[in-house]
Each structure stands twice: as C-alpha cells, then as structure tokens.
C-alpha cells in the first residue's frame, strides 16, 4: 500500500536546519496495521504528513497504492486524499458548526456526492462506528470518545483503503482510548490498511508492524518497541 | 464542492450568527438604501421639471441680455419689427420684493410685464383678471398674485379688490393665478405680476430682464430663434451678449443640472457602498482567521484550494446580496417617507434597484476575493495545528 524510498525532509528554523526525515525507506503492505513510534520531535508526525500529502518531502520517492505520487501537486494530493486516505487526528478536528452527520459527510461534499446520497452513506458510517443515534448532535454535545468515533466515521465515509491516525487516543482516557483502538483494529480486520502515529507502547504492541523513529531516522525493524 | 453546497454552507453560516451577519451587512444595507432614496429624490425633481415644460409650452423664446449688455424697453419694438413670425412679444423685469397685508408679510419675486404675458399661454386665472392695457396706460398700481402668495396672505378667501403693500407702494389686487406646481428656478406660484412701467418706476430703471417671444408653432419659434440670435450677434459682435433660447432649452439646461445633481447624490451613495464592502472584507478576514482549523480540516478531507475560494467567496456574496436585498426594502420605505422630510417629490426608480444589486454583487465579489484567496493559500498543516 505504501512504499517510500530515501525520504528526506528539512525544516529551516532561522539559521539552523533541522532534518525531520533522514533517508527514510520502508514499505507497509496492503491490509497491515502499522504503528509509527518515537519521541516528540523524532519526525513521526512529519512522516505521517508526508504520507498523507499534507507535506512534501524534499527528496526521495513515494508510491501510494501502486502509483508514484512523489511529484503530486497540492490539487492532485487533495483529490488523492479524498479518494484514498482517511485522516484521524488527536484533537478530533470536527467542525463545531456542523452536526455529527454534517461532519461525517464532509469528504463526500468534495466528491460532489448529491446531498441525499451522502446523508445515507454518512448515517451508515456513523452506525459502523457505534454511533447510530447521535447524527444530529453537535460535536460539543458529544463525549471525547464519541467525537473520535465521529471523526473515524468521517475518515471512513468515502471508503478509502488507507487510514492515517495521528495519536488517535492521545486526548482520551485509558478506557475510551482502548475502545477507539478496538474500533481501529476492527476496521483493520475488515481489510483496511491503518497507520497509527503514537508514542503509546500499548498501541504499538497491538500493531503488526512498528516503525520506530529517532532524530528523523528509521530504526531497524524491531529496534524500537515491538 | 458544488455551488449548491457552497451556498448551503454560506447560508447556514450566516444564519447561525445573525447579529454578526447583520452588522457586517449594515454598510451595504445603508449604501443600497441611500442609492435608491437619493436617486428617487433626484428623479422626483426631474419629473417636476418635465411637467413644467408641458405647462409652459414649447413655442416661447427667452431673449436674455448677458452681463453688461444694454437692454431696455426699446428692444421690444426692435424684436417685434424684426421677427414677423412672432405673435406675442412681452418684456419682463424681474426683482425680489416683499408683499405686506396688515402685519403679515411674504417674500415674492416681482415680475413687471405687459398684458401680453397672458397670451403666452403660461398662466390661467383663478379669480379676477390680468392687468389690462388701460391699467398700463394709466400707470395703475395693479397686481396679480401667484397661487401660493394669495394663499399665504389671504388664506382661502378671494383677494380681488384688496390692497397690499409692495415696493413701498399700495397696490390693488386685480387677479389670482391658478397653481401650476413646483418647477425649476422661480415658481410662478410664488411670484406676483405688476405692470412694467410701474415696476420700472419703482425700481428706478428702464432696463429689462428678458423679452419673451411667443411663436405660433415650434418651427416658427425655431426660425425666430435663429433670426434673433444672428441679429444680436451682429449688433453686439458677440454671441454671448444676448442669449436666445427656447423655453424647453432653458428647462433642458436646468434638467441637465438636476441630472448632474442626481448623479452626484448616487455617486456619494455608491461610495458608502464601497465602504460597506470594506466592512464585509474586514469581517471575512476575521472569519478566515477564526476558521483556520476548519480550512485545514477541509483540505485534509479533500478540498482543493478552489473549493476553499468558492466557499468564502460565496459567503461574502451571500452577505453582500442579502445586505442588498434588505437595503432595497429599506430604500423603498425611505422613498415613501422622504417627501415628508425633504419636502420634495421622490420617484422610486427600478433602475436604481438594478444598479444597487449589480453594485452589491460587485462589492461582494471584489471584497470577498482577497479573504477567500488568503484562506485557500493557508498551509494545511499549519492550519490544522492552529490554536491547539
């Protein structure tokens, strides 16, 4: 599903240069549940942003779903994200003005799905994450766990083959976090490729593949928490 | 994102913060209402000009001396002898004056003229008669009152036969004119007419303000105009020494002045619309900053930059067009109340509604574009991290 080769990414902070990705090469097979772990500042979030096309590497190649996407421009990336990738964020990132259903529908709005059709698909997605009757609530009326479930429904609604999750349990208590993790594992068993960025060893321990980062470098498989 | 989705989003956004939306639109609302009201007042005045052209007829020429040109009573016979097509040639001497009856006083333009004035067809008597050749020959102090003057001094009662004081002399009212309505310049309703020799005696002058020439047809009037213009140009060596213009030309000039005035008013109001647009841009920029994270989320789920431009541009357009619609409503109400306040007729003009709508659409487009482009250019990663 994902293959990257010698990715390099530098950040310039004033005069100093920070190498966020340093010669990163790996492959995540289709259907895998992978974890990217590492300390704060190890480059794991940068890696996730590059994988999702929100950021671009300075050098290296990237194949997504069999296509070379190394030189995609922002518009091509927007379309690719809309079809291929579902994003889940640590802080949920639901739009407060929209209902849960409105939030879940969002990717379909940009796919130009007619309103009635997308409402139906969004209702199905909310039911699939265990929130069948919360569609008309605003995010502020939902608990943290329910908000993250809504966000996962939004990531799923367009039926993308890949989910990218950035610390999905980081803002949740242990029990709720575990539920969300269970939900992601459930989605994984349905055949989706899931990449989770985390510094939780518990999350990493449940992944099939762990990519450990330190100072922008990928440690040898098994070199991190495995 | 489709246009329909963009409109739905914009409408929902506006509806969810009504007070803020209303305050944002206020500039456009006031601007549009101002355009409609001021254009209506300008049009009302122009309509009054047009209606007066019809009451006075189009066959009358105004022969008016320029500054410094000697122009005395002898010009009447000069014009009469040189323009055989003229039916009526009437001298005019205009002045300001005050009319008193007992303790009440009214200011009125005084027109010294001859009985021939009645034959120009410009006046119709409500009571009594115009002064006669006998009044003129005997230097009688006879006065004919305009409708408003009569109303001011005598109320509804018939003033014929009463005595009034004017230019330090006692006059006898011999007639009252019917009202003709508001016109450009001096209204005949506010004027009083006295025999020319009396006026010249009291004002200690033998000069004339103008000579009116009445022709039987527009063609004859046009012919007389050319003839007189040539005669005077040759006599004084300048075309500006004496101007010869038809009544409708004089009024057309006034009408053009009115139109300029209307355009100026509309221009001022359009400036206030631009100010309203700046208000919209201001709030849209605030909105873009507030919703930075939302923009990041939308980009993450697949919005291309053009989608973001469309969304914010449509929001600005919905604001400015809603403001335009409310402004048209407010303007319509103001047009109906304006005559009570400014004492001038106002005529609602559909053109001004179109103008206001076109302009508020443009305001939305022009002032919405910068915030929308700014929103679309945000870096999605920075936007997602913003404020949290």
- Give the separation between CA B1 and CA B4, rounded to whole angstroms: 8
Residue A115 has pLDDT above 90, yes or no: yes
Burial A37-63 (b: 16+ CB within 10 A, else e): bbeeebbbbbbbbbbbbbbbbeebebe
- Chain A touched by B207 (CB under 8 Å): no
Token duo for residue B377 = 């250019």
- Chain B touched by A162 (CB under 8 Å): no
Task: Indicate the residue of B16, B296, B307 with minimum beta-carbon distance to A110.
Answer: B307
Position with higher pLDDT, B68 vs A67: A67
What are the start-end ranges of the E strands in B116-249?
125-128, 142-145, 163-166, 169-177, 192-195, 210-214, 242-246
Among A52, A109, A115, A170, the residue to mutate for chain B (most B Cβ within 10 A): A109
Residue A225 has pLDDT above 50, yes or no: no
The mean pLDDT of A93-118, rounded to a whole number, is 94
- Give the separation between CA A125 and CA A105, rounded to whole angstroms: 9
Residue A226 has pLDDT above 80, yes or no: no
Residue A1 has pLDDT above 60, yes or no: yes
The mean pLDDT of A144-151, rounded to a whole number, is 95
Give pLDDT, residue B50.
52
Looking at chain B from residue 285 to 324, which residues have their Cβ under 8 Å from any Cβ of chain A? 293-294, 296-307
Residue B239 has pLDDT above 50, yes or no: yes
> Mean pLDDT of all residues in chain B?
86
Instruction: Give the three-class secondary structure for B262.
Output: helix
Give pLDDT, residue B262.
77
**pLDDT tier, A223 (very low <50, low <70, confident <90, very high otherwise):** very low
Residue B209: C-alpha distances to residues B35, B53, B147 (Å): 39, 21, 23
Q: Output DSSP code: residue A220.
A: P
Task: Indicate the residue of B5, B296, B303 with minimum beta-carbon distance to A78.
Answer: B303
Residues near A207 by beta carbon (within 8 Å), at least 6 away in sequence? A33, A34, A35, A196
**Count of CB atoms within 10 A of residue B101's CB?**
16
Residues near B144 by beta carbon (within 8 Å), at least 6 away in sequence? B125, B128, B130, B131, B173, B174, B175, B176, B177, B192, B193, B194
- Chain B touched by A109 (CB under 8 Å): yes
For residue B175, list its beta bridge partners: B128, B144
Interface confidence (ipTM) of the complex: 0.92
**Count of CB atoms within 10 A of residue B281's CB?**
20
Give pLDDT, residue A197.
94
CB B211 within 8 A of CB B79: yes
Token duo for residue B283 = 């709030």
Token duo for residue B305 = 């930059």
CB B380 within 8 A of CB B300: yes
The CA-based diameter of chain A, rounded to the nearest angstrom, is 53
Residue A116 has pLDDT above 80, yes or no: yes
Give pLDDT, residue B49.
55
- Give the separation between CA B200 and CA B178, rounded to whole angstroms: 26
Give pLDDT, residue A112.
92
Give pLDDT, residue B181.
66
Give pLDDT, residue B341.
78
The mean pLDDT of B88-117, rounded to a whole number, is 88
What are the start-end ranges of the E strands in A39-192?
59-64, 67-68, 85-88, 162-166
Token duo for residue B231 = 């005669």
Count CA atoms closer than 13 A to B190's CA, side-chain side. Answer: 16
Q: Output DSSP code: residue B158.
A: -
Provide, rounded to the nearest whole percent, the portion of chain B with pLDDT above 70: 93
Tell me which of A133-142, B103-112, B315-324, B327-336 is least confident. Answer: B103-112
Residue A20 parent element (H or E): strand A16-28
Which tens digits make up the pLDDT trace of B129-168?
Answer: 999 999 999 999 999 999 889 998 998 899 999 999 998 8
Contact A110 B388 (CB under 8 A): no
Count CA atoms closer than 13 A to A157's CA, side-chain side. Answer: 34
Q: Is A167 left (phi over 0), alpha (psi -120 to 50) or beta?
A: left
Residue B192 has pLDDT above 60, yes or no: yes
Give domain limits for chain B: 3-51+258-385, 67-240
Give pLDDT, residue B386.
82
Residue B70 has pLDDT above 60, yes or no: yes
Residue with tokens 């206030």: B272
Q: Which fold has domain A2-218?
A: Rossmann fold (3.40.50)
Task: Indicate the residue of A55, A82, A97 with minimum beta-carbon distance to B302.
Answer: A82
Which tens digits make up the pLDDT trace of B30-63?
Answer: 989 988 888 888 777 666 555 544 455 667 888 8
- Give the separation between CA B371 and CA B379, rounded to whole angstroms: 15
The mean pLDDT of B371-384, rounded to a whole number, is 92
Task: Indicate the residue of A83, A93, A115 with minimum beta-carbon distance to B293.
Answer: A93
- Give the separation between CA B97 and CA B110, rounded to whole angstroms: 6
- Give the separation between CA A102 and CA A94, rounded to whole angstroms: 10
Contact A81 B1 (CB under 8 A): no
> Mean pLDDT of all residues in chain A?
91
Residue with tokens 């290296």: A60
Token duo for residue A51 = 């994988």
Residue A152 has pLDDT above 50, yes or no: yes
What are the start-end ranges of the E strands in chain B?
60-65, 88-101, 104-113, 125-128, 142-145, 163-166, 169-177, 192-195, 210-214, 242-246
Give pLDDT, residue B356.
82
β-strand pairing of B104-113 with B192-195: parallel
Q: How far is CA A95 from the centre of its chain?
A: 18
Position with higher pLDDT, B326 vs B68: B326
Give pLDDT, residue B180.
77
Token duo for residue B70 = 């000697």
For residue B151, list its beta bridge partners: none
**pLDDT tier, B184 (very low <50, low <70, confident <90, very high otherwise):** very low
- Give the separation between CA B131 and CA B149, rounded to whole angstroms: 17
Q: Is A138 left (phi over 0), alpha (psi -120 to 50) or beta?
A: beta
- Chain A touched by B16 (CB under 8 Å): yes
Which tens digits make up the pLDDT trace of A49-92?
Answer: 999 999 999 999 999 998 999 999 999 999 999 999 999 999 99
Contact A54 B381 (CB under 8 A): yes
Shortest CA gap A222–chain B (Å): 30
Give pLDDT, residue B186.
55
- Chain B touched by A89 (CB under 8 Å): yes
Position with higher pLDDT, B382 vs B47: B382
Give pLDDT, residue A200.
84
Residue with tokens 């574009």: B369
- Give the separation between CA B113 and CA B136, rounded to whole angstroms: 9
Residue A118 parent element (H or E): helix A115-128
Which tens digits make up the pLDDT trace of B283-307?
Answer: 999 999 999 999 999 999 999 999 9
- Give the separation between CA A128 and CA B63, rounded to whole angstroms: 94
Residue A14 has pLDDT above 60, yes or no: yes
**Count of CB atoms within 10 A of residue B337's CB?**
11
- Give the separation between CA A36 and CA B224, rounded to whole angstroms: 102
Count CA atoms closer than 13 A to B32's CA, side-chain side. Answer: 32
Q: How far is CA B153 from the centre of its chain?
A: 29
Give pLDDT, residue A224.
40
Tell me which of A23-32, B191-200, B216-225 is least confident. Answer: B216-225
Taking the alpha carbons at both ends of chain B, their separation in whole angstroms is 27
Name chain B contacts of A52, Cβ cutoff 8 Å.
300
For residue B242, list its beta bridge partners: B65
- Chain A touched by B5 (CB under 8 Å): yes
Residue B388 has pLDDT above 60, yes or no: no
Position with higher pLDDT, B270 vs A183: A183
């Amino acid at each position: 599903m994902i293959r990257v080769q010698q990715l390099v990414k530098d950040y310039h902070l004033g005069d100093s240069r920070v190498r966020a990705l340093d010669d990163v090469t790996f492959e995540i097979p289709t259907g895998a549940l992978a974890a990217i772990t590492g300390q704060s500042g190890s480059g794991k979030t940068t890696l996730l942003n590059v994988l999702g096309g929100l950021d671009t590497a300075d050098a290296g190649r990237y194949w997504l779903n069999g296509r070379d996407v190394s030189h995609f421009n922002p518009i091509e990336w927007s379309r690719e994200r809309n079809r291929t990738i579902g994003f889940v964020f640590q802080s949920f990132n639901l739009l407060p003005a929209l209902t849960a259903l409105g939030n879940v529908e969002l990717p379909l709005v940009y796919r130009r799905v007619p309103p009635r059709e997308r409402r139906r698909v969004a209702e199905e997605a909310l039911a699939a994450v265990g929130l069948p009757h919360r569609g008309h609530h605003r995010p502020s009326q939902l608990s943290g766990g329910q908000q993250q479930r809504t966000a996962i429904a939004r990531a799923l609604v367009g039926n993308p083959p890949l989910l990218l999750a950035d610390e999905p349990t980081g803002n949740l208590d242990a029990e709720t976090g575990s539920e969300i993790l269970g939900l992601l594992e459930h989605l994984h068993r349905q055949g989706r490729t899931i990449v989770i960025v985390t510094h939780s060893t518990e999350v990493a321990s449940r992944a099939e593949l762990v990519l450990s980062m330190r100072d922008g470098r990928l440690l040898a498989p098994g070199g991190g928490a495995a | 994102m489709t246009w329909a989705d963009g409109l739905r989003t914009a409408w929902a956004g506006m509806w969810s913060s009504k007070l803020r939306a209303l305050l944002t639109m206020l500039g456009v609302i006031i601007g549009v209402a101002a355009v409609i009201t001021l254009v209506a007042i300008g049009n009302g005045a122009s309509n009054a000009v047009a209606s007066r052209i019809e009451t006075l007829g189009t066959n009358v020429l105004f022969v008016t001396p320029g500054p410094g040109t000697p122009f005395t009573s002898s010009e009447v016979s000069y014009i009469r002898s040189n323009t055989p097509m003229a039916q009526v040639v009437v001298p005019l001497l205009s002045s300001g004056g005050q009319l008193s009856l007992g303790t009440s006083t009214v200011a009125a333009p005084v027109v010294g003229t001859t009985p021939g004035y009645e034959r120009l067809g410009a006046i119709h008597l409500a009571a009594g008669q115009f002064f006669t050749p006998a009044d003129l020959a005997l230097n009688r102090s006879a006065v004919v009152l305009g409708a408003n003057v009569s109303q001011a001094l005598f109320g509804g009662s018939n003033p014929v036969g009463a005595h009034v004081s004017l230019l330090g002399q006692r006059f006898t009212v011999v007639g009252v004119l019917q009202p003709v309505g508001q016109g450009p310049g001096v209204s005949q309703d506010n004027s009083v007419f006295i025999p020319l020799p009396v006026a010249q005696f009291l004002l200690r002058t033998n000069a004339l303000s103008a000579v009116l020439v009445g022709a039987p047809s527009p063609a004859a009037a046009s012919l007389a105009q050319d003839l007189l213009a040539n005669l005077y140009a040759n006599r004084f060596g300048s075309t500006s020494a004496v101007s010869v213009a038809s009544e409708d030309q004089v009024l057309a000039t006034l009408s053009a002045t009115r139109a300029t005035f209307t355009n100026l008013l509309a221009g001022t109001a359009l400036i206030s619309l631009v100010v309203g647009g700046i208000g919209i841009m201001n709030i849209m920029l605030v909105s873009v900053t507030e919703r930075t994270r939302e923009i990041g989320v939308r980009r993450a789920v697949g919005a291309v930059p053009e989608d973001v431009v469309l969304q914010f541009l449509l929001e600005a357009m919905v604001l400015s067009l809603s403001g335009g619609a409310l402004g048209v409503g407010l303007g319509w109400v103001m047009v109906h109340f304006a005559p009570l306040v400014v004492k001038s007729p106002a005529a609602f003009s559909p053109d001004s509604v179109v103008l206001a709508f076109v302009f508020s659409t443009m305001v939305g487009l022009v002032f919405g574009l910068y915030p929308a482009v700014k929103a679309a250019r945000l870096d999605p990663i920075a936007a997602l991290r913003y404020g949290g």
